[in-house]
Amino acid sequence: MPMKRFHNRAKIVQVEDVARDTVRLCLQVAEIADQVEPGQFVMLGPLAPDSHDPFLNRPFSVHACHDDIIELLIGVVGRGSRMLSEFVPGQDLYVLGPLGSGFQVPAGAKHMVLVGGGLGIAPLFYLAQHCSRLAAKTVLLYGAGNSEQLLSTVTLTDLGVELALATDDGSAGHHGHAGDLLLNWIAAQPEARGRDTYLATCGPEKMMAAVAAIGREHDFQVEVSLEARMACGVGACLGCTAFDVQGKAVRVCHEGPVFPAGEVFGP
Ligand SMILES: Cc1cc2nc3c(=O)[nH]c(=O)nc-3n(C[C@H](O)[C@H](O)[C@H](O)COP(=O)(O)OP(=O)(O)OC[C@H]3O[C@@H](n4cnc5c(N)ncnc54)[C@H](O)[C@@H]3O)c2cc1C
Ligand code: FES
């Protein structure tokens, strides 16, 4: 059955600082919570319906989902995200979703390896929730600039998945990048080779390219979640076109944001 898309007024039920310049926003919106899949996103806005400033709605991945609640992780980087971080519980917010195509976790994969950098952790957290309900072993490899930018590890270990952390400055976990964590994990898991291992990554493009290259070398099944500036979020404006596949323009909001790594970084 095709997935329905809703444009709703959602009730904000919680706004919480979870790391430096990062807020978790919890929205009560049963129609979306009922059907959103890991990797899908929502468009938030208009953020100021009276002034329409900012004019464009803003895309955010679903970070977690339970009952009639969706959780979003908002990195405060500009005007829209700052406004979102200043909302308070009890206020309403317009939300359109669920949107896009999420992660396609292969049936029968024995190892699920999720590699997130910075705010790229947002959709991977929901994916980890999902994978931890499947029988497969799930590991979350998570890197950030420093310890203040890392999400609370309590929230992460609540997932019940194996977790390894890295920071660029060595203030928490491994001193280095999430890609290093992947190499360490592979070295410690000689049995995890080939198509039985599913690798999903989200974060800075350079990191995803490095992770995809490692995955390709070991013949893992790899998916990447892309970001692009978006206007409509529903495939209509072509504003988020990222690359061509066999001469056909691919829209991040519609065909993605999750793609097989080979389509993005080459086979
Ligand atoms: C599918 C999708 C899912 C996303 N999920 C999340 C998420 O879970 N959490 C999160 O914090 N952010 C997420 N983003 C990015 C988020 O949409 C932008 O950070 C946000 O729209 C910025 O709005 P702003 O008004 O605060 O910033 P602006 O004032 O519009 O811009 C501030 C700075 O951020 C840069 N920027 C803005 N939008 C993007 C973008 N889409 N990609 C790259 N750089 C951008 C601008 O170039 C500028 O340097 C996602 C984006 C996409 C496309
Ligand atoms: S944002 Fe309009 S087509 Fe993707």
How far, in Å, from the CA of 172 to the mean position of ligand 1? 26
230 Cβ closer than 6 Å to some ligand 1 atom: yes
Question: For 12-34, what is each residue's pLDDT tens digit?
Answer: 999 999 999 999 999 999 999 99
Instruction: Look at the domain 226-267 and name its fold.
Output: Dihydroorotate dehydrogenase B (pyrk subunit); domain 3 (2.10.240)
**Report field, pTM of the whole predicted structure over 0.85:** yes
**What is the rounded distance in angstroms from the CA atom of residue 101 to the CA atom of residue 60?**
14
**What is the rounded distance in angstroms from the CA atom of residue 251 to the CA atom of residue 235?**
7
Please report the pLDDT score of residue 129 as a whole number. 87
Place of tokens 């919480």: 16
CA angle at 123 for the pair 119 and 124, rounded to the nearest 5° = 90
Ligand nearest to the CA of 43: 1
Over range 26-43, report the average pLDDT.
96
The model's confidence at residue 53, banded by pLDDT at 50, 70 and 90, is confident
**What is the rounded distance in angstroms from the CA atom of residue 120 to the CA atom of residue 102?**
14
Tokens, residue 32: 């979306």
Place of tokens 């396609």: 104
Ligand nearest to the CA of 231: 2
Question: For 55-94, what is each residue's pLDDT tens digit?
Answer: 899 999 999 999 999 999 999 999 999 999 999 999 999 9
Q: Which residues are 69's β-sheet partners?
A: 28, 66
- Assigned CATH for 111-224: 3.40.50.80
Report which residue type is found at 202.
C
Domain boundaries, the chain: 6-99, 111-224, 226-267
Question: For 191-248, what is each residue's pLDDT tens digit?
Answer: 887 889 999 999 999 999 999 999 999 999 999 999 999 999 999 999 999 777 767 7
The CB-based long-range contact list for 184-189 (8 Å cut-off, 24+ gap) reads 185/113, 185/139, 185/141, 186/214, 186/218, 189/111
The answer to whether 125 and 106 are in contact (CB under 8 A) is no
The pairing of strands 197-202 and 111-117 is: parallel
Which is the CATH superfamily of the domain at 6-99? Translation factors (2.40.30.10)
Contacts of 83 by beta carbon, 8 Å cutoff, 6+ apart: 47, 48, 54
At 66 the three-state DSSP class reads: strand
Tokens, residue 128: 């980890």
The pairing of strands 22-28 and 6-19 is: antiparallel
- Given its phi and psi angles, is residue 232 left (phi above 0), alpha (psi -120 to 50 degrees) or beta? alpha
263, pLDDT greater than 60 = yes
Of 237, 250, 255, the residue with max ligand 2 atoms within 8 A of its CB, to mutate for a pocket test, comes to 237
How far, in Å, from the CA of 259 to the mean position of ligand 2? 16
266 Cβ closer than 6 Å to some ligand 1 atom: no
How far, in Å, from the CA of 254 to the mean position of ligand 2? 7
Percent of the chain with pLDDT over 90: 76
**What is the rounded distance in angstroms from the CA atom of residue 122 to the CA atom of residue 22?**
11
* Alpha helix (H) residue ranges in the chain: 30-33, 79-85, 121-132, 153-157, 178-188, 205-217, 261-265
143, pLDDT greater than 80 = yes
Q: For residue 179, how many other CB atoms are within 10 A of its CB?
A: 23
Contacts of 266 by beta carbon, 8 Å cutoff, 6+ apart: none
58 Cβ closer than 6 Å to some ligand 1 atom: yes
Please report the pLDDT score of residue 153 as a whole number. 67
**Which ligand 2 atom is at minimum distance from the Cα of 229?**
1
Pocket of ligand 2 (CB under 6 A): 230-233, 235-240, 251, 253
**Which ligand 1 atom is at minimum distance from the Cα of 100?**
1
